[in-house]
A = this chain, B = another copy of it.
């Protein structure tokens, strides 16, 4: 009986969400975050033929990507596009909650009916951390949002994986950071369709150095390699400089991937990524509920036995 009720509720929720009912959208995304089975269900209930454009924005903390995103939201919503944002947050019990998302929310008018912002804390979603975020992005697109932004901190492989679902990837860097910080960016330096050198107001000289560095990496083939030649744009998000050019590049990239058919191929890839991440999430959830035996001293055998136990309950 209870299941039946939830079933009905879900269809109603989806209908409401498709009509841009913000409370309904929020509740759908909460289901996605909490229950992988529901997430799969919601995805299956939604149309997949919308014309949404997923834009990934990545960059280390301090690169000003939240401000940049805020400027992009302003421009795209003004042009009549419905914009969704999913911010992947490295939050913790200590910092208590969502950092990126909150910051954007404060900057933007939260009341704009054409902008919907959600942050996903990675804490507690260990392993399956990417699933909720990726599913939310796809769901916002399927719900009729024209531009769906996914924002994450540019660190390591997890970030590269998250960005893998975007149609267009914007990598935000700042001029003049030390080797240490460069190391952080390492994983994401190869994946940009557009590179933004932000905070050029701080040091134009350093910005030009970074520009030459990126230009060389693109020309020598270290970055890019497909039909689209990665673009570089210098901005000052705070001063609202260079944002129109960035918007132009994002639009050009969209045109290119529509023409080449890559946007359709990407959609199929995204579906596979979602299935894979969902499988990982189910796996990790079950693994964590199992009491592990490690007494025999044979590590490999015990690991294989554990794997089998994870699958049994299904």
In contact, A95 and B40 (Cβ under 8 angstroms): no
In contact, B275 and A186 (Cβ under 8 angstroms): no
Given known A43-B299, A298-B40, A300-B37, contact A94–B186 (CB-CB < 8 A) = yes
Shortest CB distance A57–B (Å)? 15
Given known A279-B287, A299-B278, contact A156–B61 (CB-CB < 8 A) = no
- Contact partner of A123 (CB less than 8 A), chosen from B61, B187, B297, is B187
Contacts of A248 in B (CB 8 A): none
Taken together as a complex, chains A and B put the C-alpha atoms of A308 and B272 apart, in Å, by: 16
A294 at the interface (CB under 8 A from B): yes
CB contacts under 8 Å to B, within A156-196, are: 156-158, 161, 178-184, 186-187, 189-190
The number of residues on chain A lying at the interface, defined by a beta carbon within 8 Å of a beta carbon of chain B, is 75
Contacts of A95 in B (CB 8 A): 182-183, 186, 189
CB-based nearest B residue for A294: B271
A6 at the interface (CB under 8 A from B): no
Tell me the A residues contacting B by CB distance below 8 Å. 36-37, 39-41, 43-44, 48, 61-62, 89-95, 99-100, 122-123, 125-127, 129, 153, 155-158, 161, 178-184, 186-187, 189-190, 222-223, 268, 271-272, 274-276, 278-284, 287, 292-294, 297-304, 306-308, 310-311, 314
Contacts of A300 in B (CB 8 A): 36-37, 39-41, 44, 278
Contacts of A62 in B (CB 8 A): 178, 180-181
What are some 26 contacts across the A-B interface (CB < 8 A)? A40-B299, A44-B298, A61-B181, A90-B155, A90-B156, A90-B183, A92-B189, A100-B183, A122-B157, A123-B157, A123-B187, A127-B127, A153-B183, A153-B184, A155-B156, A271-B299, A275-B293, A275-B294, A275-B302, A276-B306, A279-B306, A279-B310, A280-B287, A307-B314, A308-B311, A311-B311
Decide if the interface of chain A is mainly helix, strand, loop or mixed: helix
In contact, B156 and A44 (Cβ under 8 angstroms): no
In contact, A303 and B275 (Cβ under 8 angstroms): yes
In contact, A189 and B302 (Cβ under 8 angstroms): no
10 nearest A-B residue pairs (beta carbon): A40-B300, A61-B180, A40-B299, A278-B303, A271-B294, A92-B186, A95-B186, A62-B180, A279-B303, A272-B292
- Contact partner of A307 (CB less than 8 A), chosen from B37, B222, B279, is B279
In contact, A155 and B157 (Cβ under 8 angstroms): no
Contacts of A190 in B (CB 8 A): 92-94
Contacts of A37 in B (CB 8 A): 300
User: Most chain-B CB neighbours within 10 Å: which of A92, A179, A223, A284?
Assistant: A92
In contact, A307 and B294 (Cβ under 8 angstroms): no
Shortest CB distance A253–B (Å)? 21
In contact, A184 and B280 (Cβ under 8 angstroms): no
Taken together as a complex, chains A and B put the C-alpha atoms of A126 and B275 apart, in Å, by: 17
Contacts of A280 in B (CB 8 A): 127, 284, 287
Shortest CB distance A7–B (Å)? 14
Given known A157-B122, A157-B126, contact A299–B186 (CB-CB < 8 A) = no
